[in-house]
Amino acid sequence: MPYSDPSNQYIPPTTALIGSAHGYVFNADEVTLEAEIHAVDPLATSYLNWSLQLWAGDVLVAEASFGALYPDSFGIARVGATVSANLPAGTNEHMLTLVLAGDDGTGLQRYDAVTYPRSERFVLPLIEGSVAYRLDTDCTEISAECIRNPRAADNMSGSLVLELWALPAAYQGGAFSGILIGSEFVGALAGQSQWNNVSARLPACELPAGQWHLVLMLREWVGNTYLTRDYRNFALTVDGPLPTPTAAPEAEAAPAPVATPAPAAAPAEKPAAKAAKKPAAKAVDKTAEKTAEKAPAKKSKPAAATKAPAAEPVSAAKRNAKKSAPVHKPGRVSVNTAGVSDLAAVSGVNGATAEGIIAGRPWATLDDLIKVKGIGTKSLDKLKHLLKL
Protein backbone atom coordinates (compact mmCIF):
# COMPACT_ATOMS: atom_id res chain seq x y z
CA MET A 1 0.00 0.00 0.00
CA PRO A 2 1.30 3.55 -0.69
CA TYR A 3 3.00 5.36 2.15
CA SER A 4 1.13 8.46 3.33
CA ASP A 5 3.70 10.95 4.61
CA PRO A 6 2.14 13.60 6.92
CA SER A 7 5.11 15.92 6.36
CA ASN A 8 4.01 16.47 2.73
CA GLN A 9 7.34 15.12 1.47
CA TYR A 10 5.76 12.11 -0.18
CA ILE A 11 6.80 11.59 -3.80
CA PRO A 12 4.46 9.67 -6.11
CA PRO A 13 5.99 6.24 -6.76
CA THR A 14 6.85 6.80 -10.42
CA THR A 15 10.50 5.76 -10.14
CA ALA A 16 10.45 2.52 -8.10
CA LEU A 17 8.03 0.42 -6.05
CA ILE A 18 8.29 -2.32 -3.45
CA GLY A 19 7.33 -5.59 -5.13
CA SER A 20 5.25 -8.43 -3.75
CA ALA A 21 8.27 -10.20 -2.20
CA HIS A 22 9.58 -8.43 0.89
CA GLY A 23 10.01 -8.99 4.62
CA TYR A 24 12.08 -8.72 7.78
CA VAL A 25 13.54 -11.17 10.32
CA PHE A 26 14.74 -10.18 13.80
CA ASN A 27 17.64 -11.91 15.53
CA ALA A 28 18.33 -10.34 18.93
CA ASP A 29 19.48 -6.76 18.18
CA GLU A 30 19.83 -7.32 14.44
CA VAL A 31 17.25 -7.46 11.66
CA THR A 32 17.46 -8.74 8.10
CA LEU A 33 15.59 -6.62 5.54
CA GLU A 34 14.78 -7.99 2.09
CA ALA A 35 12.71 -6.65 -0.79
CA GLU A 36 12.08 -7.01 -4.47
CA ILE A 37 12.17 -3.56 -6.09
CA HIS A 38 10.27 -2.86 -9.29
CA ALA A 39 11.98 -0.13 -11.32
CA VAL A 40 9.28 1.96 -13.00
CA ASP A 41 11.98 4.19 -14.49
CA PRO A 42 15.15 2.04 -14.75
CA LEU A 43 17.35 4.96 -15.84
CA ALA A 44 16.29 7.15 -12.94
CA THR A 45 16.67 4.21 -10.57
CA SER A 46 20.36 3.92 -11.40
CA TYR A 47 21.01 7.58 -10.51
CA LEU A 48 19.65 7.45 -6.94
CA ASN A 49 21.06 5.90 -3.78
CA TRP A 50 18.42 3.59 -2.32
CA SER A 51 17.66 2.44 1.21
CA LEU A 52 15.20 0.16 2.96
CA GLN A 53 13.93 1.44 6.31
CA LEU A 54 11.92 -0.37 8.95
CA TRP A 55 9.72 1.83 11.15
CA ALA A 56 7.69 1.13 14.29
CA GLY A 57 5.29 4.06 14.32
CA ASP A 58 7.54 7.14 14.52
CA VAL A 59 10.61 5.14 15.63
CA LEU A 60 13.21 4.22 12.99
CA VAL A 61 14.12 0.63 13.87
CA ALA A 62 16.67 -0.10 11.13
CA GLU A 63 18.03 1.18 7.83
CA ALA A 64 19.96 -0.65 5.10
CA SER A 65 21.58 1.33 2.27
CA PHE A 66 22.25 -0.22 -1.14
CA GLY A 67 23.43 2.62 -3.36
CA ALA A 68 22.26 2.67 -6.98
CA LEU A 69 19.95 -0.10 -8.20
CA TYR A 70 20.43 -1.82 -11.55
CA PRO A 71 17.32 -3.85 -12.38
CA ASP A 72 17.37 -6.93 -14.57
CA SER A 73 15.68 -7.25 -17.94
CA PHE A 74 12.32 -7.54 -16.19
CA GLY A 75 12.89 -4.27 -14.33
CA ILE A 76 13.41 -5.97 -10.96
CA ALA A 77 16.22 -5.45 -8.45
CA ARG A 78 16.49 -7.68 -5.39
CA VAL A 79 18.13 -6.23 -2.27
CA GLY A 80 18.76 -7.45 1.24
CA ALA A 81 21.02 -6.83 4.24
CA THR A 82 21.38 -7.59 7.95
CA VAL A 83 21.79 -4.45 10.07
CA SER A 84 21.62 -3.36 13.70
CA ALA A 85 18.12 -2.83 15.06
CA ASN A 86 17.08 -0.05 17.42
CA LEU A 87 14.20 -1.93 19.02
CA PRO A 88 11.40 0.28 20.38
CA ALA A 89 11.45 0.56 24.16
CA GLY A 90 8.57 -0.58 26.32
CA THR A 91 6.15 -3.49 26.27
CA ASN A 92 3.61 -2.18 23.74
CA GLU A 93 2.80 -3.85 20.45
CA HIS A 94 3.99 -2.07 17.30
CA MET A 95 2.83 -2.00 13.70
CA LEU A 96 5.89 -2.17 11.44
CA THR A 97 6.29 -0.41 8.09
CA LEU A 98 8.89 -1.15 5.41
CA VAL A 99 9.84 2.02 3.52
CA LEU A 100 11.67 2.39 0.19
CA ALA A 101 13.67 5.65 0.25
CA GLY A 102 15.86 7.22 -2.41
CA ASP A 103 18.45 9.99 -2.25
CA ASP A 104 19.16 12.14 -5.30
CA GLY A 105 21.76 14.22 -3.44
CA THR A 106 19.30 16.43 -1.57
CA GLY A 107 18.39 13.91 1.14
CA LEU A 108 16.31 10.76 1.49
CA GLN A 109 12.76 10.86 0.15
CA ARG A 110 10.16 8.13 0.63
CA TYR A 111 8.99 6.52 -2.58
CA ASP A 112 6.92 3.58 -1.38
CA ALA A 113 5.97 1.79 1.83
CA VAL A 114 4.26 -1.38 3.05
CA THR A 115 2.69 -1.74 6.50
CA TYR A 116 2.56 -5.28 7.86
CA PRO A 117 -0.76 -6.48 9.25
CA ARG A 118 0.74 -8.33 12.21
CA SER A 119 1.96 -6.29 15.14
CA GLU A 120 5.22 -7.05 16.97
CA ARG A 121 5.98 -7.15 20.70
CA PHE A 122 9.71 -7.19 21.46
CA VAL A 123 11.15 -9.28 24.29
CA LEU A 124 13.39 -6.86 26.19
CA PRO A 125 14.51 -6.31 29.79
CA LEU A 126 11.76 -4.37 31.52
CA ILE A 127 10.65 -2.53 34.65
CA GLU A 128 7.76 -4.03 36.60
CA GLY A 129 5.80 -2.76 39.58
CA SER A 130 6.05 0.71 41.06
CA VAL A 131 8.82 3.24 40.46
CA ALA A 132 9.74 6.39 42.40
CA TYR A 133 12.24 9.21 42.66
CA ARG A 134 13.15 11.92 45.16
CA LEU A 135 15.12 15.10 44.49
CA ASP A 136 16.82 16.69 47.50
CA THR A 137 19.46 19.36 47.99
CA ASP A 138 22.10 16.78 48.88
CA CYS A 139 21.07 13.68 46.90
CA THR A 140 18.82 12.10 44.29
CA GLU A 141 17.06 8.81 45.02
CA ILE A 142 15.54 6.43 42.46
CA SER A 143 13.86 3.05 42.95
CA ALA A 144 12.10 0.33 40.97
CA GLU A 145 10.09 -2.50 42.47
CA CYS A 146 11.37 -5.05 39.93
CA ILE A 147 13.71 -5.32 36.93
CA ARG A 148 13.15 -8.50 34.88
CA ASN A 149 14.71 -10.18 31.85
CA PRO A 150 11.92 -12.13 30.07
CA ARG A 151 14.25 -13.62 27.45
CA ALA A 152 15.18 -17.29 27.33
CA ALA A 153 17.08 -18.67 30.31
CA ASP A 154 20.36 -18.84 28.36
CA ASN A 155 20.00 -15.27 27.04
CA MET A 156 22.02 -13.03 29.35
CA SER A 157 21.31 -9.33 29.04
CA GLY A 158 23.97 -6.75 28.37
CA SER A 159 24.99 -4.43 31.17
CA LEU A 160 21.88 -2.65 32.46
CA VAL A 161 21.67 0.86 33.89
CA LEU A 162 18.77 2.66 35.54
CA GLU A 163 18.68 6.34 34.57
CA LEU A 164 16.53 9.30 35.57
CA TRP A 165 16.14 11.89 32.79
CA ALA A 166 14.51 15.31 32.61
CA LEU A 167 13.00 15.92 29.16
CA PRO A 168 11.13 18.90 27.68
CA ALA A 169 8.21 16.57 26.81
CA ALA A 170 6.98 13.16 27.94
CA TYR A 171 9.07 10.35 26.46
CA GLN A 172 7.35 8.32 23.74
CA GLY A 173 10.24 6.08 22.66
CA GLY A 174 13.00 6.51 20.10
CA ALA A 175 15.64 9.25 20.11
CA PHE A 176 15.47 11.92 22.79
CA SER A 177 17.32 14.95 24.14
CA GLY A 178 17.33 16.12 27.75
CA ILE A 179 19.28 16.28 31.01
CA LEU A 180 20.59 13.14 32.72
CA ILE A 181 19.80 13.56 36.42
CA GLY A 182 21.39 10.33 37.62
CA SER A 183 22.52 6.89 36.44
CA GLU A 184 22.94 3.65 38.39
CA PHE A 185 24.78 0.62 36.97
CA VAL A 186 22.89 -2.54 37.98
CA GLY A 187 24.77 -5.21 36.01
CA ALA A 188 23.87 -8.04 33.61
CA LEU A 189 20.77 -10.17 34.25
CA ALA A 190 20.22 -13.77 33.16
CA GLY A 191 17.14 -14.65 31.16
CA GLN A 192 14.03 -15.57 33.17
CA SER A 193 15.55 -13.79 36.20
CA GLN A 194 14.72 -10.60 38.05
CA TRP A 195 15.97 -8.16 40.69
CA ASN A 196 13.55 -6.93 43.33
CA ASN A 197 13.52 -3.62 45.20
CA VAL A 198 16.29 -1.93 43.21
CA SER A 199 17.21 1.45 44.68
CA ALA A 200 20.06 3.90 44.37
CA ARG A 201 21.22 7.10 46.03
CA LEU A 202 22.92 9.45 43.58
CA PRO A 203 24.55 12.89 43.81
CA ALA A 204 22.21 15.88 43.88
CA CYS A 205 21.29 17.55 40.61
CA GLU A 206 20.25 20.93 39.31
CA LEU A 207 17.83 21.79 36.53
CA PRO A 208 17.60 25.06 34.57
CA ALA A 209 14.45 27.11 34.39
CA GLY A 210 11.51 25.51 32.62
CA GLN A 211 8.99 22.70 32.99
CA TRP A 212 10.57 19.24 32.94
CA HIS A 213 9.04 15.81 32.39
CA LEU A 214 10.87 13.16 34.41
CA VAL A 215 11.24 9.62 33.08
CA LEU A 216 12.96 6.56 34.56
CA MET A 217 14.69 4.52 31.83
CA LEU A 218 16.14 1.02 31.82
CA ARG A 219 18.96 0.96 29.26
CA GLU A 220 21.09 -1.93 27.98
CA TRP A 221 24.65 -2.01 26.62
CA VAL A 222 24.66 -3.55 23.12
CA GLY A 223 28.39 -3.48 22.36
CA ASN A 224 28.87 0.12 21.28
CA THR A 225 26.16 2.11 23.04
CA TYR A 226 23.27 1.96 25.50
CA LEU A 227 19.75 1.47 24.12
CA THR A 228 16.55 2.23 26.03
CA ARG A 229 14.68 -1.00 26.76
CA ASP A 230 11.87 0.20 29.02
CA TYR A 231 10.74 3.46 30.58
CA ARG A 232 8.23 4.98 32.99
CA ASN A 233 7.05 8.57 32.64
CA PHE A 234 6.16 10.33 35.89
CA ALA A 235 2.82 12.14 35.73
CA LEU A 236 3.81 15.30 37.61
CA THR A 237 6.21 17.75 35.98
CA VAL A 238 9.06 19.49 37.79
CA ASP A 239 9.53 23.25 37.54
CA GLY A 240 13.08 24.59 37.30
CA PRO A 241 15.37 26.00 38.27
CA LEU A 242 16.13 23.61 41.11
CA PRO A 243 18.60 24.62 43.86
CA THR A 244 22.17 23.71 43.13
CA PRO A 245 23.90 21.23 45.46
CA THR A 246 26.10 24.07 46.81
CA ALA A 247 23.04 25.58 48.50
CA ALA A 248 23.05 22.82 51.14
CA PRO A 249 25.71 24.45 53.48
CA GLU A 250 23.11 27.05 54.51
CA ALA A 251 22.21 24.65 57.31
CA GLU A 252 25.67 25.20 58.85
CA ALA A 253 25.06 28.93 59.11
CA ALA A 254 21.82 28.52 61.09
CA PRO A 255 22.16 30.66 64.26
CA ALA A 256 19.78 28.62 66.44
CA PRO A 257 22.31 25.97 67.61
CA VAL A 258 24.84 28.68 68.59
CA ALA A 259 22.83 30.43 71.27
CA THR A 260 21.80 27.35 73.26
CA PRO A 261 25.14 25.59 73.93
CA ALA A 262 27.09 28.79 74.68
CA PRO A 263 26.52 28.75 78.51
CA ALA A 264 27.43 25.06 78.69
CA ALA A 265 30.71 25.72 76.92
CA ALA A 266 31.77 28.43 79.45
CA PRO A 267 33.25 26.04 82.09
CA ALA A 268 35.44 24.45 79.41
CA GLU A 269 37.61 27.61 79.34
CA LYS A 270 38.30 28.48 82.97
CA PRO A 271 40.97 31.15 82.23
CA ALA A 272 38.50 32.98 80.02
CA ALA A 273 35.86 32.79 82.73
CA LYS A 274 38.24 34.33 85.30
CA ALA A 275 39.12 37.10 82.91
CA ALA A 276 35.46 37.88 82.62
CA LYS A 277 34.95 38.03 86.42
CA LYS A 278 37.86 40.35 87.24
CA PRO A 279 36.63 43.31 85.19
CA ALA A 280 33.25 42.94 86.91
CA ALA A 281 34.93 43.51 90.35
CA LYS A 282 37.14 46.39 89.14
CA ALA A 283 34.95 48.60 87.08
CA VAL A 284 37.60 51.37 87.17
CA ASP A 285 40.04 49.37 85.02
CA LYS A 286 38.98 50.16 81.44
CA THR A 287 41.58 47.82 79.99
CA ALA A 288 40.09 44.93 81.92
CA GLU A 289 36.65 45.94 80.68
CA LYS A 290 37.85 45.63 77.08
CA THR A 291 39.30 42.22 77.93
CA ALA A 292 35.96 41.23 79.40
CA GLU A 293 34.18 42.41 76.25
CA LYS A 294 36.45 40.28 74.11
CA ALA A 295 36.11 37.24 76.34
CA PRO A 296 32.56 36.38 75.26
CA ALA A 297 33.69 36.58 71.63
CA LYS A 298 36.32 33.94 72.38
CA LYS A 299 33.75 31.81 74.12
CA SER A 300 31.56 31.87 71.01
CA LYS A 301 34.11 29.66 69.23
CA PRO A 302 33.37 26.62 71.38
CA ALA A 303 29.70 27.36 70.69
CA ALA A 304 30.42 27.16 66.96
CA ALA A 305 32.35 23.97 67.58
CA THR A 306 29.28 22.45 69.17
CA LYS A 307 27.66 22.74 65.75
CA ALA A 308 29.99 20.06 64.41
CA PRO A 309 27.96 17.15 65.81
CA ALA A 310 24.85 18.60 64.13
CA ALA A 311 26.67 18.61 60.77
CA GLU A 312 28.12 15.15 61.37
CA PRO A 313 25.52 13.33 59.18
CA VAL A 314 27.05 15.14 56.18
CA SER A 315 30.59 13.93 56.91
CA ALA A 316 33.04 13.18 54.12
CA ALA A 317 32.44 9.45 54.43
CA LYS A 318 28.69 9.91 54.12
CA ARG A 319 29.06 12.33 51.23
CA ASN A 320 31.02 9.63 49.44
CA ALA A 321 28.23 7.20 50.27
CA LYS A 322 25.75 9.53 48.59
CA LYS A 323 27.88 9.72 45.48
CA SER A 324 27.97 5.94 45.22
CA ALA A 325 24.66 4.95 43.72
CA PRO A 326 23.71 1.68 45.44
CA VAL A 327 22.65 1.95 49.04
CA HIS A 328 24.30 -1.37 49.85
CA LYS A 329 27.74 -0.31 48.47
CA PRO A 330 28.56 3.11 49.95
CA GLY A 331 31.80 4.93 49.35
CA ARG A 332 32.75 3.29 46.04
CA VAL A 333 32.98 4.90 42.61
CA SER A 334 31.59 2.98 39.63
CA VAL A 335 34.16 2.21 36.93
CA ASN A 336 31.31 1.72 34.43
CA THR A 337 29.29 4.92 34.97
CA ALA A 338 31.41 7.53 36.79
CA GLY A 339 32.86 10.50 34.91
CA VAL A 340 36.52 11.45 34.57
CA SER A 341 36.37 13.93 37.48
CA ASP A 342 34.77 11.38 39.84
CA LEU A 343 37.31 8.68 38.96
CA ALA A 344 40.26 11.08 39.16
CA ALA A 345 39.10 12.04 42.67
CA VAL A 346 39.81 8.47 43.86
CA SER A 347 43.12 8.16 45.68
CA GLY A 348 45.64 6.53 43.35
CA VAL A 349 43.82 7.43 40.10
CA ASN A 350 44.99 10.38 38.01
CA GLY A 351 43.31 11.98 35.01
CA ALA A 352 45.05 9.80 32.42
CA THR A 353 44.20 6.62 34.32
CA ALA A 354 40.58 7.75 34.67
CA GLU A 355 40.35 8.26 30.90
CA GLY A 356 41.85 4.79 30.39
CA ILE A 357 39.18 3.28 32.64
CA ILE A 358 36.40 5.00 30.70
CA ALA A 359 37.89 3.94 27.35
CA GLY A 360 37.82 0.26 28.42
CA ARG A 361 34.14 0.15 29.44
CA PRO A 362 32.20 -1.88 30.23
CA TRP A 363 34.24 -3.77 32.86
CA ALA A 364 33.12 -7.25 33.87
CA THR A 365 35.33 -7.46 37.00
CA LEU A 366 37.58 -5.07 38.89
CA ASP A 367 40.52 -7.42 38.25
CA ASP A 368 40.29 -6.50 34.55
CA LEU A 369 41.45 -2.97 35.44
CA ILE A 370 45.01 -4.35 35.37
CA LYS A 371 44.75 -3.76 31.58
CA VAL A 372 44.60 0.01 32.11
CA LYS A 373 47.90 1.82 31.68
CA GLY A 374 49.02 3.17 35.05
CA ILE A 375 47.36 0.45 37.16
CA GLY A 376 49.63 -2.29 38.47
CA THR A 377 49.02 -5.29 40.71
CA LYS A 378 49.80 -3.43 43.93
CA SER A 379 47.86 -0.30 43.01
CA LEU A 380 44.87 -2.43 41.95
CA ASP A 381 44.78 -4.08 45.37
CA LYS A 382 44.63 -0.64 46.96
CA LEU A 383 41.92 0.56 44.57
CA LYS A 384 39.53 -2.38 44.92
CA HIS A 385 37.98 -1.11 48.13
CA LEU A 386 37.44 2.33 46.53
CA LEU A 387 35.88 1.15 43.24
CA LYS A 388 32.90 -0.90 42.12
CA LEU A 389 31.33 -2.09 38.88
Give the CATH number, domain containing residue 147.
Answer: 2.60.40
| Confidence grade of residue 315 (pLDDT, cut at 50, 70, 90) | very low
Are residues 132 and 110 part of one domain?
A: no
Are residues 147 and 109 part of one domain?
A: no
- Rg over alpha carbons for the chain, rounded to the nearest Å, is 32
> What range does the domain containing 71 cover?
16-115
Asked, for residue 1, whether it belongs to a domain, the answer is no
pLDDT of 226 over the 80 cut: yes
Are residues 288 and 348 part of one domain?
A: no
Are residues 371 and 336 part of one domain?
A: yes
H-only helix segments in the chain? 42-45, 256-259, 262-265, 270-281, 286-305, 307-311, 316-323, 340-344, 351-359, 377-383
Asked, for residue 22, whether it belongs to a domain, the answer is yes
Are residues 230 and 137 part of one domain?
A: yes
| Confidence grade of residue 36 (pLDDT, cut at 50, 70, 90) | very high
Q: Which long-range contacts (CB under 8 A, 24 or more apart) does 153-158 make?
A: 153/190, 153/191, 153/192, 154/191, 155/190, 155/191, 156/188, 156/189, 156/190, 156/191, 157/125, 157/188, 157/189, 157/190, 157/191, 157/220, 158/188, 158/220, 158/221, 158/222, 158/223
Asked, for residue 35, whether it belongs to a domain, the answer is yes
Cα atoms in the Cβ-side hemisphere of radius 13 Å centred on 211? 5
Are residues 368 and 287 part of one domain?
A: no
Are residues 143 and 49 part of one domain?
A: no
Are residues 151 and 83 part of one domain?
A: no
Domain boundary among 90, 115, 140: 115
How is residue 40 annotated by DSSP? S
Asked, for residue 275, whether it belongs to a domain, the answer is yes
Residues 6+ apart with CB under 8 A from 33: 24, 52, 54, 62, 64, 80, 81, 82, 83, 98
Domain boundary among 93, 115, 137: 115
| Confidence grade of residue 12 (pLDDT, cut at 50, 70, 90) | low
Domain boundary among 80, 95, 115: 115
User: Average per-residue pLDDT in the chain?
Assistant: 77
Are residues 149 and 46 part of one domain?
A: no
Are residues 150 and 110 part of one domain?
A: no
Q: What is the CATH number of the domain that holds 101?
A: 2.60.40.10
CA quadruple 134, 135, 139, 144: dihedral, nearest 10: 30
Are residues 132 and 107 part of one domain?
A: no
Asked, for residue 320, whether it belongs to a domain, the answer is no
Number of domain units in the chain: 4
Tell me what pLDDT residue 360 has.
82
Rounded to an integer, the average pLDDT of 70-98 is 91
Asked, for residue 196, whether it belongs to a domain, the answer is yes
Tell me what pLDDT residue 289 has.
46
How is residue 89 annotated by DSSP? P
201 burial (CB, 10 Å; 0-12 / 13-18 / 19+) is buried
Of 299 and 340, the one with more pLDDT:
340
Are residues 135 and 224 part of one domain?
A: yes
Asked, for residue 252, whether it belongs to a domain, the answer is no
Q: What is the pLDDT of residues 149-179, one digit of tens each?
A: 999 999 999 999 999 999 999 998 888 899 9
Q: Report percent pLDDT > 70 for the chain.
A: 74
| Confidence grade of residue 13 (pLDDT, cut at 50, 70, 90) | low
Asked, for residue 99, whether it belongs to a domain, the answer is yes
